Each structure stands twice: as C-alpha cells, then as structure tokens.
C-alpha cells in the first residue's frame, strides 16, 4: 500500500450530500475480475452525456480544476453498496483524499485499506470550502496526516480525528492483512477454544 | 449492567483486543458471490496464501447472471461466474451454482440452507448482508480487501460500533407491511442516521413478524446508515430453521436453542441511542427521491423545500426531484409507472410473492406497464410454482424469471430505460440504480402489485380482498 503523508493539492467542490457508491461507480463498471480500469467509470453518470461525450456541466470536467487531487463532498459520502470499486475508481482517477462531514461506514473502511484518506470535517468547514473553491479553483489545500490538520485557504488549521492505529498504518503504508496474519496464534487458540465450529 | 444482543454476539467473537490496536473478531460464516470476490482471490494468490476455512465459506452467483433463458451470456458475466467456479473449486468452497438445484440471491439462499444461525458473525462482500441479522446474527457487508482478509485469516479488524434500539410497538393496519416499517424508520431517522451504529429492532410488532418480514427489515438497515441490524431469536426463528440442511440436529439442536435463547438483550441493558415507532399509525410507504430516506406515506405528497431546515437539504431535494421528474407538493397517488419489479434480497421470498399474487389474481397488468417477478432463489421459484403463483402472475401479464439480483442493481440485462418510472420492491432508489437514467419508486410487494394493475402509484388498501 502506498504511504500517505502530506497531501498538498488543489481541490474539487462536489456540492451534494448522500453521494452513494452507485454514483461514484455505476454497477455496469463492476463486471471486471481485476481492479484495473475503474478510473474511467468514476462518476460515469454525471461525467458523461448519453452520447458518451464529457458532460461540460459536471465539475470534474471543468478544465479549471484539472489536476486536483482532493475531493470536497457533502455528508454521508460513499453510502450504499459495499463496492470497493468506488475507492479504486477515485484513486485511479487521481484523487488521494476526500473531505466530507460524514462517510458511509463501509466506504470509510475500504478507503483506509487502499491508502486513500477519508477526512471528516465539520459541515460548516465544508460549506466554507465549497464557496472558496468555487470562487478560486487555484486554491491549494494542505492535508497533513502526521499532524492531523487541514490547512484552510484562510491559513487557519482545522484538526481532524482519525484512529491512531489507522493513521500509523497509512503513514507507514502497512496493510491490514499482514497484521491479521501475525495474529495466527491467537486465531488458532480462539478456534481451539470453541466447543465446535459454528458453521461446521 | 446488562448486555445487548449485539454486545453478546460481539463479545463471543473477540479474538484479540489490545490497547492501541483495532479489535480482531472471528467470522463464523463468510458468504461470497461473483462480483466482489475475484480480486480477493487474486490477492491471496499474489501472496501465496490459502483459504483458511473453506468449510465456513459459501458461494453463490446472483449479481451479474441473467434471470431469463438466453442462448449466450455476456462475456463479462461469463468471466465472473467462471472465476468464481475456478476459485471455489481450487479452494474447496461449497458453491451453489446456477447449474444446480440450489442457487439464488446470497441473502435468500444462506438462510434457506440453514447456514445463517443466531449468535453468529456473518460477512459478505455485499452491503445487504445486514439481512442475516433477522436471526440474531451480527452480519454486515465488507469491501473486497476485507473479503481477502476473511478468506486468509477468518478474521476482521473492527471498530466496535454503537448500539441503537428501534422500538416498534402496535398493530399494523391491513395493507401495511414490514417494508413500510423499514421505509418509515429510514424516512424518520434519515439515510445516514444509523452511521456507526448497529440497529436492534425490538417491540411487539417485530416479535409478531415472520422470518421473511424480519429479513426485509434487517436487509435495509444499511439504507438507514447502520451496517448491521439485529432481531433477537425466538420461537419464530427456530421454527424457520429447524430441519434446514446446515442447521444442527438432535442433541446439538437442543443445546443450540438453549444457547440462542440466552442471546436476547438483557432487561437492564442500555442502548447508545433509541427511536420509537408507532406501528399502528403507519401507512403504506413510497419513495419520491434518490435515497431511501426520501419516502412518504402513499396518501402523502412530495415535500416542499420551504418546509425543510437548511439550504443544503433544499438543494438536495431540488436535485432529486429534477432527476425524478417530480414536483414539490405533488400527491404520490396517481404518479405514472412504466415498469414494476418484484424481487431483490429485500422482497423476493415466498411470503412476498404470495402477498403480491393475492393482489394480482384475476386482474391484469396495465397495458403500458412492463412487469417482472424475480424469485430470490430456485427454492422460492419452485415453491411458488408448486402453489401456482407463477400462473397467477403470468395470467396477469407479469414475466416470471429465474433467481438473481436482476433489476435491483441492473448489472445483468434487466435494466430500466432512461426516464422510466420503476415501482420496485428493492432497497435502493439511487440515481441510475436500476438502469442509466431510471427513476425508482420503492414500495412493498403488495403496493408494487397494485401499481402494476393500475399503471400508477395507488393505495393498495383499496384493493385488498
């Protein structure tokens, strides 16, 4: 897993609450048996017109935001389906981080397992960011995982919370599977301690 | 202080809980399907790992498969199903294959087979895994990375969620169903109201429901933001389970029932949050918007922006209505319907089909409506055919399909066209969920049956016999 540390980048305002994972990547893009090619499907229904041409009205297609690596979204981002394809799509498109007032639980978990940083900020901060980013697409944000701070355009710093263990895993690029496999003795002891396997 | 049902199940599955680390919990049953598992098996192969407990892993195919007889499957569905067969075969995992007698939507088949049992932890790479909570199991959806974790270690790293009691008391009026209970809960508590929590559905109304109805309610916990929803096991649960292929037998059954009966929340247990629902006051529900929290009683109207609390809510309402082609203040009754879909892991069990068939019997689907019934499993399909429900639906003008997820998520060829209104018994009305540009109106099976006959949203209570 790639390490996450300091993300210093421009950001895209996605002014909507409840952006579910069906919006992030529609089911018709889930037919692959690998993780490749998901970036193409990111926000497909919003990004492309029925003709397949880019929809000029959607913020990702606005050339002023080209190269942005941070997405600023509304509450309950990534709700709905468990599809990890949503995180793969965001990451493959070039995003490194999403700021939102809240996240769907499964999406939040999936993000951490892909070195993709979900940051919870107060709704007021997101509202303010939307205004600033819509006014000046050149605005740079700093998201510093080490100090757990987002430096806002007015130079104020906003602290965000993240589980310390998760933070360390992201900083060091460690994935969960290694951690779980290292628990083998405890897992075996747990299994041995049960009278009978429940599903056997 | 006493423990909740959730606490009891959680505590029994803690493998490791050390300071500064997430809790590691053990998974009793791991369900897999063709769409979210291939990348997980690839991860295991790339690390030279094997499936740790194939005998606790069960697979079926449901999401991408066609539900009608077609001579040639699309390449991608073939590839996913082929990968699942190969992965299960190589790892010694039981696969309920479409070629066999047992197959269907994973959340319909696992309970039918008796794999789903009280007190278990059950996970699947599918958010509607919450369905299995109807048996008093702790069951939730996971992503593909976590599918790999469970395949390799039979464990997951988890933050302990908080508890949320949903107390439902009172007697449902005729024509008001389990689907209306859960749609009303989500309309009241919001699509994100349960984030970070596990729901426990409690109260006399819940205790009075059969297993199919309990599964309908737990199924949509995720639509209320909760990853899991649970109901304490009781005699209704045990009657459903008894004699199913993977259920314990003999003395093991008796011992299990004693153990399961101790799982219910203690009288002095305290929940982090709670919500009360008066079941007697509920009406049939229907959604008007683009998340499952956007629902109203069928006798009601689309909300008006002026009644909402803040600007963001108004913008979201306007955007949803713009997509849906509905207007503020519009009565729900009389809303045009193009397609009726009866199916999905929410409402495709035999009880659902019986209730819908009772409305449809002797009536005709409106001329402009395309209507389909997709049973949740081969067993449901066979039972329905045994009872003659397939003929009732066919005579009324419904298509009668094979088992699968079908138009709930439109991964196969069952897609609603752009702009089409779908009266749907499924769980999600997200934009484009049932086909690019499709507009979903979520409702109960009997409400969907009524909509098929009238070609518009109607109050099914006027059509009960």
pLDDT of residue B130: 98
- CA dihedral (B456, B217, B144, B62) positive or negative: negative
Taking CB atoms and an 8 Å limit, are B15 and A190 in contact across chains? yes
Of the candidates B107, B26, B9, B41, the residue with the CA atom closest to the CA atom of residue B403: B107
Give the burial string for B142-179 (b: 16+ CB within 10 Å, else e): bbbbbbbbbbbbbbbbbeebebbbbbbeeebeebbbbb
Report the gap between the CA of A20 and the closest CA in chain B (Å): 7
Instruction: Supply φ then ψ for residue A157, to 5 degrees.
Output: -105, 135
The string of pLDDT tens digits covering residues B327-349 is 999 999 999 999 999 999 999 99
**Residues of chain B with C-beta less than 8 angstroms from the C-beta of A33:** 38-39, 42, 79-80, 83
**Residues of chain A with C-beta less than 8 angstroms from the C-beta of B63:** 30
Measured CA to CA in angstroms, residue B388 lies from B400, B458, B464 at distances of 12, 26, 20
B64 touches chain A (CB under 8 A): yes
- Residue A195: pLDDT band with limits 50, 70, 90: low
Query: How far is C-alpha B415 from the geometric centre of its chain's CA atoms?
Result: 19
% of residues, chain B, pLDDT over 70: 100
Residue of B93, B155, B429 to mutate when probing chain A, most A C-beta within 10 A: B155
Share the mean pLDDT of chain B: 97
- The DSSP output letter for B63 is S
pLDDT of residue B260: 98
Query: How far is C-alpha A165 from the geometric centre of its chain's CA atoms?
Result: 18
Q: How far apart are CA B195 and CA A103, in angstroms?
A: 8
Taking CB atoms and an 8 Å limit, are B146 and A28 in contact across chains? no
Q: How far apart are CA B55 and CA A197, in angstroms?
A: 10
Of the candidates B443, B453, B451, B457, the residue with the CA atom closest to the CA atom of residue B216: B443
Virtual torsion, Cα B59, B65, B68, B71, nearest 10 deg: -110
Tokens found for residue B380: 């449901």
pLDDT of residue A196: 53
Question: In sequence order, which residues have a C-beta less than 8 Å from that of residue B380 and are 6 or more positions away?
Answer: B104, B108, B112, B348, B349, B350, B353, B403
Residue A96, exposed/middle/buried by CB under 10 A (0-12, 13-18, 19+)? middle
Reply yes or no on whether the pLDDT at B68 is more than 70.
Answer: yes
The string of pLDDT tens digits covering residues B197-224 is 999 999 999 999 999 999 999 999 999 9
ipTM confidence:
0.95
Q: How far apart are CA B173 and CA A39, in angstroms?
A: 49
pLDDT of residue A1: 85
| pTM passes above 0.80 | yes
Mean pLDDT within B381-386: 98
CB distance B450 to B463 below 8 Å: yes
Q: How far apart are CA A82 and CA B228, in angstroms?
A: 13
Mean pLDDT within B375-396: 98
pLDDT of residue A200: 41
């Amino acid at each position: 897993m790639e390490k996450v540390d300091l993300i210093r980048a421009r950001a895209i305002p996605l002014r909507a609450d409840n952006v579910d994972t069906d919006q992030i990547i529609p089911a018709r893009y889930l037919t692959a048996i690998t993780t490749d090619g998901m970036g193409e499907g990111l926000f497909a229904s919003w990004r492309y017109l029925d003709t397949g041409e880019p929809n000029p009205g959607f913020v990702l297609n606005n050339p002023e935001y080209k190269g942005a690596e941070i997405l600023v979204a509304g509450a309950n981002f990534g709700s709905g389906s468990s599809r990890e394809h949503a995180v793969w799509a965001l990451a493959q498109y070039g995003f490194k981080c999403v700021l939102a007032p809240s996240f769907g639980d499964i999406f939040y978990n999936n993000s951490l397992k892909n070195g993709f940083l979900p940051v919870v900020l107060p709704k007021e901060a997101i509202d303010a960011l939307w205004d600033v980013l819509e006014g000046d697409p050149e605005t740079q944000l700093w998201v510093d995982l080490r100090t757990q701070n987002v430096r806002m355009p007015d130079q104020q710093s906003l602290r965000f919370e993240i589980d310390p263990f998760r933070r360390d895993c992201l900083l060091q690029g460690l994935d969960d599977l290694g951690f779980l496999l290292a628990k083998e003795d405890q897992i075996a002891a747990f299994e041995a301690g049960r009278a009978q396997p429940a599903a056997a | 202080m006493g423990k909740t049902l959730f606490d009891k199940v959680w505590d029994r599955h803690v493998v490791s809980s050390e300071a500064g680390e997430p809790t590691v919990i053990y998974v009793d049953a791991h369900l897999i399907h063709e769409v979210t598992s291939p990348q997980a098996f690839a991860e295991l192969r790339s690390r030279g790992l094997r499936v740790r407990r194939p005998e606790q892993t069960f697979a079926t195919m449901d999401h991408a498969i066609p539900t009608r007889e077609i001579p040639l499957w699309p390449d991608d569905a073939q590839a996913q199903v082929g990968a699942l067969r190969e992965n299960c075969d190589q790892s010694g995992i039981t696969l309920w294959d479409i070629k066999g007698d047992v197959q269907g939507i994973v959340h319909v088949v696992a309970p039918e087979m008796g794999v789903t049992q009280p007190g278990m932890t059950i996970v699947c790479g599918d958010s509607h895994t919450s369905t299995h909570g109807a048996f008093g199991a702790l069951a939730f959806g996971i992503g593909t990375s976590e599918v790999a974790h469970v395949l390799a270690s039979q464990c997951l790293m988890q933050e302990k969620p908080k508890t949320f009691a949903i107390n439902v008391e009172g007697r449902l009026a005729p024509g008001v169903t389990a689907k209306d209970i859960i749609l009303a809960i989500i309309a009241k508590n919001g699509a994100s109201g349960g984030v970070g929590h596990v729901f426990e559905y409690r109260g006399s109304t819940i205790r009075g429901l059969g297993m199919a109805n309990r599964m309908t309610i737990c199924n949509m916990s995720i639509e209320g933001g909760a990853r899991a929803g649970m109901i304490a096991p009781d005699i209704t649960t045990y009657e459903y389970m008894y004699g199913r292929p993977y259920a314990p037998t003999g003395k093991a059954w008796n011992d299990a029932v004693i153990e399961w009966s101790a799982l219910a929340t203690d009288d002095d247990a305290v929940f982090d949050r709670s919500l009360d629902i008066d079941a007697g006051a509920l009406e049939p529900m229907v959604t008007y918007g683009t998340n499952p929290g956007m629902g109203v009683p069928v006798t009601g109207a689309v909300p008006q922006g002026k009644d909402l609390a803040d600007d963001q809510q108004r913008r979201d309402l306007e955007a949803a209505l713009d997509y849906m082609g509905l207007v503020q203040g519009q009565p729900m009754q009389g809303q045009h319907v193009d397609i009726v879909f009866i199916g999905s892991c929410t409402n495709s069990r035999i009880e659902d089909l019986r209730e819908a068939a009772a409305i449809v019997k002797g009536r005709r689907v409106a001329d402009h409506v395309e209507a389909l019934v997709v049973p949740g499993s081969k067993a449901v399909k066979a039972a329905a055919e045994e009872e003659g429900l397939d003929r009732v639906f066919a005579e009324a003008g419904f298509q009668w399909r094979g088992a699968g997820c079908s138009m709930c998520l439109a991964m196969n060829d069952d897609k609603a066209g752009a702009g089409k209104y779908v009266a749907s018994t499924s769980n999600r009305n997200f934009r484009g969920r049932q086909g690019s540009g499709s507009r979903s109106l979520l409702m109960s099976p009997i409400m969907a049956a009524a909509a098929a006959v009238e070609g518009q949203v109607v109050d099914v209570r006027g059509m009960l016999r």
